[in-house]
Each structure stands twice: as C-alpha cells, then as structure tokens.
Amino acid sequence: MIRSGIERLGGRTIGAIAELGRFARFGGWIVGGFLRPPFRPERIVREAYDSGVLSLAIVCASGLAVGLVLSLQLYNVLVRFGAEESLGAVIGLTLIRELGPVLTGLLVTGRAGSAMAAEIGMMVATEQIDGMRTMAVDPMKFVVVPKAVALTLSMPLLSALFIVAAIFGGYLVGVQLLGLGSGIYFSSLENAVVFRTDVVGSALKALLFGALVALIATFRGFTTGRSTAEVSASTTATVVTGSVCILLADYIFTALWGF
Amino acid sequence: MQSHPARDLVVGLFVLAGISALAYLSTQLGGLSFDGQGGFTLRATFDEIGGLSARSPVVISGVPVGQVVAINLDEDLRAAVELDLEPGLELPVDTSASIRTSGLLGDQFIALEPGGEDELLEAGDILSFTESALNFEKLIGSFVHDAGLGGSE
C-alpha cells in the first residue's frame, strides 16, 4: 500500500520531468522550423488573422474597461493626499509595466491560445496530421510554426492597443467625468514614462508572453490523444498552464529587467 | 494556397494599428523625440536636487520651455543638471534656476527666472545662480531642533 503510493509519486515526478523535456524539444523544433526555409509568410498572415485580428475587439474593450475602473479607483485614493495630478503617471506606469502585457496575455490565452490548441488537437484526433505526414508535408512547418509565430508577433501589438485603450479609458473618467485637467493628466503621464525601460520593457514582456502562450498552446494541441475528450482536456490545460506561466514569467521578467 | 485580399487587408490594418499604438507609446509618452535637437543646452549645479529626475520639466513663469536631460555629480560632488531648452530663448546671463515642487507632494521641476543683464547666455553655459530643492525633512528637523523639542540636549 505504502510502496505503491511511493511508486506512484515517483512515477508522476518522472512523468512530469519527461513532459518538460518533450516541451523543451518541441520548442526547439518550432525555432528550428521557423529559421529553416521554406518560409510561409502567407500562412503567418492567415494565422495572424485568427490570433491577432479576432482578439482585437476583446482586447480593446477590456483595455477600455480597465482604464475606466483604474482611473475611478485611483482618483479617489489620490485625492485624499491632494496628489490627484499624479493620476496620469500612476495609470500609465501601471498599465505599461504590468497590466498591459499581463492582462493581454491572459486574454489572448483564453481567446486565441485555447482556439489554437483545440484546432491542432482536432487535427490530431481526426488524423489530419498523420495524413499530412503521409503526403510528406511537415505538419510542424505547415501548421504549428505559422500559428506560433503569428501569436508571438501579435502579442506586442495587442498589448500596445490595450494600453492605449486603457489610457483613453482613464482619460474619460479622470478628465471628462471627474474634472481633472486634460493637460495635467497627459503631462504627468508623459513625464513618468521612460522609453528605454518602460516602453521597450513592456513590448519585450508582451513578446515573451506571446511566445510562452504560443508554445504551450501548440504543444498541448500537438500532444493531444486521439479522442474528442482529449481535445477538450488539452484546451483546458492550455488556458490553465498558459495563465499560470504568464504570471510566473511576469515576476521573473520584472525582477530581471529591473523596472 | 489561394490569396485572400480582404483578409490580408484586415491583417494589414491590424498590424498598422498595433504599430501606431506602439509608436504613440514610444514617441508621445516615452519621450523618444524624433526632432532630437531640442536645441539649447544649459547646465546648472545644485547642492540638493531632491526628487528631480531626467525628463522633469523646465519652466519660465510657469510656461514649459524644456526638460532635464541628465543629472550627474560634478568634481565638487554637487549635482550637475543638464537642461535642454527650446532653441531661440534669449536668457540674460544672470538668469537663476530654482527647484520647485508642484503642490505639496507633486513632481519637482526647474523654474528659470530671467535677470536684468543685457548679455545673453550661450548654449553650453553654466547657470551660476541656483536655488536648491526644499527638503521638508531637513526643514522640520531644524524646526524641531530650534524649538528645543528635540529631547535632552
């Protein structure tokens, strides 16, 4: 009884480490497939439509909502200290350094990452991937790499749009509703944000999260078993692992980048 | 693979929107200025700069005319502040620079007060009349000390 428990624990640990190894090799394949010709820009554009354009509405709407509520909350706290003219700076730095990349990453995981894992998973479950191999089409090159690249490259763009939408939301509440001067809002924003650390760091962060989500989604999809139940399991796993990885990677990146 | 002009166009628009958002963040907010020259550089040394930082505004009579570009220690261990001002400003040589705070807890900025000399400052000149930042802790400390509230002494 005790022995079988210990055996199971050991088996799971070894299984998890092996999974990590497969994940790392899969990441290596994607990078290799991306660097080796033939390049398929038309496939990347098609996938950019799915992961970028279709995420645009949810990202902008969420950004606007976050900006609205952030402004409302912060104004009420700052006004107690007579520091409401710092509203723009607080909103801008919070969004650019943290909330923009992180929330966009979580939204994209839910919107595009899950769809990607489900699509690839269905292709595995319905043996389309095997069919490609039979016809000597490399499924990594034709399916996985364009999807991963498109999602990775879409992330900094989506994150920047999220931040701009949120700054606009903060402007609506802070300036239009609560009556802070528009010049005060934007000048404190402009004075606080530094290009090299804040804006570049924000874009790199978004790129990193995009690569993480793309890797996890394609890996989960590609390693799906051959049944429809497995497809839903890998979709769920993508969202859960992707979200947790983004939050952990966020801490590590922030600590190393030194915001 | 057949081409899809409509979809390609939408993706192109998305990329364009994303890049303009990034450009807005970098140029408008990040202060990566394309005109670059700014123009007219002056230096000023202070004993105490408080919370002054790069990109703090420089004003004359409350009107923004430039910003702080760099803060370093000079050889006398005083703070040497480099100011980037609008080109074409005609400032007399006895112009003074003081570090002020907007509001009690607000951001710090440099206020220039033009003097009365006829001679004008040239680019790269050092402002000799400066007034350091007001340090509230020091102020309160000396007040407590002067009033004899500082405990046993």
Looking at the structure of chain B, the number of domains it has is 2
Q: Rounded distance, CA B113 to CA A47, Å?
A: 59
Q: Please give the mean pLDDT across all residues of chain A.
A: 90
Residue B3 lies in a domain: yes
Residue B135 lies in a domain: yes
Same domain, B48 and B92: yes
Q: Please give the order of strands across the beta sheet that includes B57-60.
A: B126-127, B40-46, B79-85, B63-73, B57-60, B108-113, B96-101, B129-131
Residue B148 lies in a domain: no
Q: Model confidence over A128-159: pLDDT tens digits?
A: 988 888 998 888 888 889 999 999 999 999 99
pLDDT reading at B35 higher than 70:
no
Q: Which residue type does B55 have?
A: R
Residue B110 lies in a domain: yes
Same domain, B59 and B11: no
Q: Model confidence over A210-235: pLDDT tens digits?
A: 999 999 999 999 988 888 888 999 99
Same domain, B51 and B9: no
pLDDT reading at B36 higher than 70:
no
Same domain, B76 and B121: yes
Confidence at residue B147, expressed as pLDDT on a 0 to 100 scale:
77
The answer to whether A86 contacts B1, with C-beta atoms less than 8 Å apart, is no
The answer to whether B30 contacts A199, with C-beta atoms less than 8 Å apart, is yes
Residue B150 lies in a domain: no
The answer to whether A85 contacts B103, with C-beta atoms less than 8 Å apart, is yes
Q: Say which residues have a Cβ less than 8 Å from residue B17's Cβ, sequence separation at least 6.
A: A56, A157, A161
Distance from CA of B19 to the nearest CA of A (A): 6
Confidence at residue A156, expressed as pLDDT on a 0 to 100 scale:
94
Same domain, B59 and B125: yes
Same domain, B13 and B85: no
Same domain, B27 and B71: no
- The residue with greater pLDDT, B81 or A83, is B81
How distant, in Å, are the alpha carbons of A155, A217, A236, A247 from that of A242? 14, 8, 10, 9
What are the respective helix, strand and coil percentages of chain A, to the nearest 5?
Answer: 90, 0, 10
Residue B147 lies in a domain: no
Same domain, B51 and B25: no
Domain hosting residue B26, numbered range: 1-32
